[in-house]
A and B are shown apart, each in its own frame.
Chain A
């Protein structure tokens, strides 16, 4: 499922909103999550999961092609942990 398919499905399920309205809401939703994570904040959606940022120290690495030593800068990486509800739901047998 892509973002536009998600918008389509949600628009068909809720009344009073145009497809465009849903598109704006979906975009604002993910933008706000990105912004929050960029500030280093944690994002927690109950039943779905939580996103947080982890700091990776810089380290000495090697270019695997040339064998040359390079220094890999420290960076921040996003982490996701699935929530309890979704963990259980994806493991419940169900003929779909």
Chain B
């Protein structure tokens, strides 16, 4: 499923033009990204939480060449699924 499929599903439900639905969906993801960028957590009840975590610099190794390298400190985005989502994923008959 891609963004285009989501636009289609939402479009069928709400009856606005596809273009308008598309721009609202674009704005939703942009708002989430902007909030995370500021270091703030985003909690979508029933779906899950998106958080930013600070990773410290560490020594690593290029697995191909074996040379030691320093991996800079960086921020990473993580997702934790809600109980509801985890349940939904496991209750489907198509396993």
Q: Is the C-beta of A29 less than 8 angstroms from some C-beta in chain B?
A: yes
Closest CB in chain A relative to B64 CB, distance in Å:
21
Complex contacts, B91 vs chain A, CB 8 Å: 38
How far, in angstroms, from A34 to B91 measured CA to CA in the complex? 12
Q: Is the C-beta of B56 less than 8 angstroms from some C-beta in chain A?
A: no
Number of chain B interface residues as a range = 35 or more
Interface residue total, chain A, C-beta cutoff 8 A: 53
Tell me which of B20, B27, B45, B90 contacts A10 (CB under 8 A): B27
Q: A29 and B28 in contact (CB under 8 A), knowing A86-B33, A94-B37?
A: yes
| Residues of A that sit less than 8 Å from B by CB | 1-3, 6, 9-10, 13-14, 16-17, 21-22, 24-26, 28-30, 32-49, 51, 53, 75-78, 80, 82, 85-87, 89-92, 94, 96
